[in-house]
Amino acid sequence: MRIFLLLVLMAISPLNWAAAKIETWQTPKGSRVFYIYAQDLPMADIRITFDAGSARDGAQHGLAALTSGLLDTGAGKWSADELAQRFESVGANFGTSVSRDTASLSLRTLTDPPLFDKAVETMKTILTQPVFNQADFDREKNRTLAALKHRESSPSALADLTFNKVVYGDHPYAHSSAGEIETVTALTADDLKKFYKQYYVSANALVVIVGDLTKKQAAKTAEDLLAELPAGQKPADIPEVSLPANAKLQHIEFPSTQTHVLSGIPGMHRKDEDYFALYVGNHILGGGGLVSRLFEEVREKRGLAYSASSSFAPMFRKGAFSMGLQTRNDQTQQALDVMTQTLADFIETGPTEAELEAAKKNLTGGFVMRFDTNSKLAGYAEMIGFYGLPLDYLDTFPEKVLALTVNDIKDAFKRRVDPKLLQTVTVGEAVKLREK
Amino acid sequence: MKYVKILGLMLVIGASSVNAETKVHEHQLKNGLKILVKEDHRSPVVVSQVWYKVGSSYEPNGITGISHMLEHMMFKGTDKLQPGEFSRIIAANGGNENAFTGRDYTAYFQTMEKSRLPVSFELEADRMRNLNLLDEELKKELQVVYEERRMRTDDNPRAKTQEHFTAMAYSNSPYKNPIIGWPSDIENYTIEDLKAWYQRWYAPNNATLVVVGDVEPKAVFSLAEKYFGELKPSEIVAIKPQQEVPQLGIRRMVVKVPAKLPYLVMGYKVPVLKTSEHEWEAYALEVMAGILDGGSSARLETNLVRGKQLAVSVGAGYGLASRLDELFMLEGTPVQGKTANDLEVALKEEIEKLKYELVKQDELQRIKAQVLANAIYERDSMFYQGMQMGMLETVGLGWQKEKEYVKKVSEVTAEQVREVAQKYFKDDSLSVAYLDPQPIAEQKTEKTNEGAN
């Protein structure tokens, strides 16, 4: 009895720990700023994020990624070499990245003024005056093409690519951010300039600042960084994702010792009503690291794979729900059957009370570890800002998890994950998959 | 003028790194368990890591990879716990956990809300001495490890090339074997092999407990005494030195695997902190790695990716904290129309330049500025701080080396970089491997379940 009480108390205690305070405002030009004060280390993380990810590529797959990749290869009067030297001479780390939804510029710098100022000035120049030189463009395009070729030697990359194609059909989420050899080959430097002009604008920008800067310093930094960006417009929302009409199985014959298996459907979006039910349900099904049903059935009981897991990848629109594993070629059918049956059982009966209790303890007990570094805080601030989640998203996370019942989860999975619509991809050697 | 400005900058960075430093508290239990505690009060979180002085470089032929296999079996039950129960208890307490095996160490960790530290200690103490190694669990887990090998190495053309390259580059050093083990060794482990390995190495006097987080050192020491204090020490017999014989000429190989792009790996035999005649040599090699590949402004990316446009990607790497002599690695992928040989020639030219031209001061200062800044950035991760202490302690260098690192790197001169380049970067101690891509024929088949819904 005493032990029971102790566990209950432990599960609730993180609620008393307030997640970091996020403050938000708009710059005079209409960009949103999300700021968290973290004074312990003399450093700051700055991210500028645009709704300019690969979902904005149109038919030119790879356009958003190559645009982002070109930014720091020449800006203002500085060459790629000079830009890199400017950052690295003050110990700053700079990078650009794209996802399906976003394109970001990220800076990690010390906050001592001369170092900080030089790093921020360099970032600002990259953001506002990229030159898209033909020579830099040709080189970076060739590097992208080599990377696209290289990924064809990876069965896991091929499985990913094919899975997204079958799950999303003609939706802008269907292609990979890097694009394809044919579409990237067709890109020109002018395409990139046009894309940059349209999407890298104040109205479409989000600034995240986490670190040892006062609110006043953060406000000035954000304003300075974006001062020379044109106001522009926020682009129209990308279309909804529709569900596939029927189940599909696609096999790619590949000379590997293992077959990579991915199976799933469009899942949920960031502001989904079923977010917590699906999130916690998936934690039990296959998201919980070394403890989950898929891990237990595929790896622990049968030794069929090194990793076996499932996930939801919520985005602006529905990201994929997917289950994945890799197994010796001749075990593919067995592993796929176990995976499919595990899902079917979970949808049919939902989690047990004990499983839900364990998941709640895990998620609430480990709640504070979700934001114990500046990097993680910056990631949350960006997510909350970009997707328009409530500022108290983190603070209310434990209570939303604790409020769930077995029926909530069972009901959500029944409505949202239809096993009859599963899109399944296998990449490996000479497996004979029987028809379902 | 420029020089003065750079010096000023160094002082500013130097000052902040001093402010950011925190103390490490050290304590040893009577049974030999060493405990290192570093306070980090930014969040109510604690990282706890147990490091054992055993890894793939301790393994004799025939059972390569057994340290890694044992790492997997450490989750498979003790006298008190059922297989998998360890992980369920950690999960129910909100913890993240896992383990990793290297050439010189095997380590287990949990990250938890700070009040749960006793849970971690109780479980780790239990499996330090009371592991219940079961044959039927080994049979299943052996398959898992084999799948892990397929995924990481067998189906990955570059990893496979590196594995073959490493086996060629070393003559007798145990670093020649892959950490995960050779396939036929994995297939033939017996439960007796694992029991013997566990008995031989898993004891408090062969382990270091590292704790970083929102804790009070004295409280951690008494908690450790409570859970680990009763464990019996073992007699640990030191392993033989297995010092690598000098290499007597360049070694070359071609690895033919299904792949789309060629790839090049090169390695020069070099000493590490623990084995170098003069300690500064290891730091000079570290700086040399930075000059070649310390960021986008470093020489390889500036000269080979952007300047000559020979490579789509290129890198250099050196780890000074190994137990035995290392390889200073260079690797890269040539651009279309260039060969691995073209890239090899260009990489050697970069090495030659370091032998005959002194590195410019601003270039040297840039590397040092990055090292200083990184020392602060790394403090954003408690896990990483624990890793550094645990690794240094476990290879026998002592955790104190972490504190010296920034200072020692700052002291490296351009002349010292030139000296190590001349001394160690000779063709006679070089090994080279080319990946020769073999065709991949892809075929798609599709099945649709019409009307299934």
As for the ipTM of the complex, it is: 0.92
Q: Tell me the CA distances in angstroms from A119 to A43, A90, A223, B1, one per residue in order.
A: 12, 7, 15, 20
CA distance linking residue A361 with residue A195, whole number of Å: 46
Strand partners, B266: B330, B432
Query: What average pLDDT score do residues B397-405 get?
Result: 94
Say whether pLDDT at B11 is over 50.
no
Rg (CA), chain B: 24
Query: What average pLDDT score do residues A357-373 get?
Result: 94
Contacts of B16 in chain A (CB under 8 A): 42, 110, 112
CB contact under 8 A, A89 and B9: yes
Cβ–Cβ contact B452 with A under 8 A: yes
Mark which residues 353-372 of B lie under 8 Å from A by CB.
362, 365-366, 369-370, 372
Say whether pLDDT at B450 is over 60.
no
Cβ–Cβ contact A112 with B under 8 A: yes
Average pLDDT taken over every residue of chain A: 94
Q: Which one of A110, A254, A305 has the shortest CB-CB distance to B376?
A: A110
Band (pLDDT 50/70/90 cuts) for residue A288 is confident
Band (pLDDT 50/70/90 cuts) for residue A270 is very high
| pLDDT of res. B2 | 31
Contacts of A301 in chain B (CB under 8 A): 140
Name the one residue in this structure whose structure tokens are 């976003």: A102
Residues 6+ apart with CB under 8 A from B374: A91
Cβ–Cβ contact A341 with B under 8 A: no
Give the global pTM: 0.93
Q: Are B332 and B315 in contact (CB under 8 A)?
A: yes
Q: How far is CA B282 from the centre of its chain?
A: 16
Cβ–Cβ contact A249 with B under 8 A: yes
CA distance linking residue A52 with residue A103, whole number of Å: 5
- Please indicate whether residue B450 or residue A330 has the higher confidence score (pLDDT): A330
Closest CA to B190 of B136, B237, B128, B147: B136
Q: Are A417 and A423 in contact (CB under 8 A)?
A: no
CB contact under 8 A, A149 and B379: no
CB contact under 8 A, B147 and A305: yes
| pLDDT of res. A18 | 57
Q: DSSP per residue over A86-112, as a string?
A: HHHHTT-EEEEEE-SS-EEEEEEEE-S
Q: Are B135 and B76 in contact (CB under 8 A)?
A: no
Distance from CA of B413 to the nearest CA of A (A): 17
Q: Tell me the CA distances in angstroms from B418 to B111, B326, B356, B370, B415, one per residue in order.
A: 43, 19, 7, 20, 5
Distance from CA of B140 to the nearest CA of A (A): 5
Residue B317, SS3 per DSSP: strand
Q: Which one of A245, A255, A289 has the shortest CB-CB distance to B96?
A: A289
Contacts of A307 in chain B (CB under 8 A): 151
Distance from CA of A231 to the nearest CA of B (A): 32
Beta strands at A308-312 and A258-266: parallel, antiparallel or unpaired: unpaired
Q: For the beta carbon of residue A120, count every other beta carbon within 10 angstroms.
A: 18
Above pLDDT 90, what percent of chain B? 92
For B220-263, how does the pLDDT look when each residue is reduced to its tens digit (9 = 90+)?
Answer: 999 999 999 999 999 999 999 999 999 999 999 999 999 999 99
Length of chain A: 436
CA distance linking residue B52 with residue B74, whole number of Å: 12
| pLDDT of res. A19 | 64
Question: Range with the lowest mean pLDDT among A46-55, A375-384, B20-29, B433-442?
Answer: B20-29
Active site residues of B: 71
Is the backbone of residue B106 left (phi > 0), alpha (psi -120 to 50) or beta?
A: beta
Average pLDDT taken over every residue of chain B: 93
| pLDDT of res. B21 | 57
H or E segment to which residue A251 belongs:
strand A248-253
Query: What average pLDDT score do residues B286-311 get?
Result: 97
Q: Are B252 and B433 in contact (CB under 8 A)?
A: yes
| pLDDT of res. A289 | 84
| pLDDT of res. A25 | 97
Distance from CA of A258 to the nearest CA of B (A): 7
Name the one residue in this structure whose structure tokens are 């890793």: B387
Query: What φ, ψ does residue A318 adopt, rounded to 5°?
Result: -60, 120
Beta strands at B311-317 and A23-26: parallel, antiparallel or unpaired: unpaired
Band (pLDDT 50/70/90 cuts) for residue A433 is low
Say whether pLDDT at B287 is over 90.
yes
For A212-266, how does the pLDDT look when each residue is reduced to its tens digit (9 = 90+)?
Answer: 999 999 999 999 999 999 999 999 999 999 999 999 999 999 999 999 999 999 9
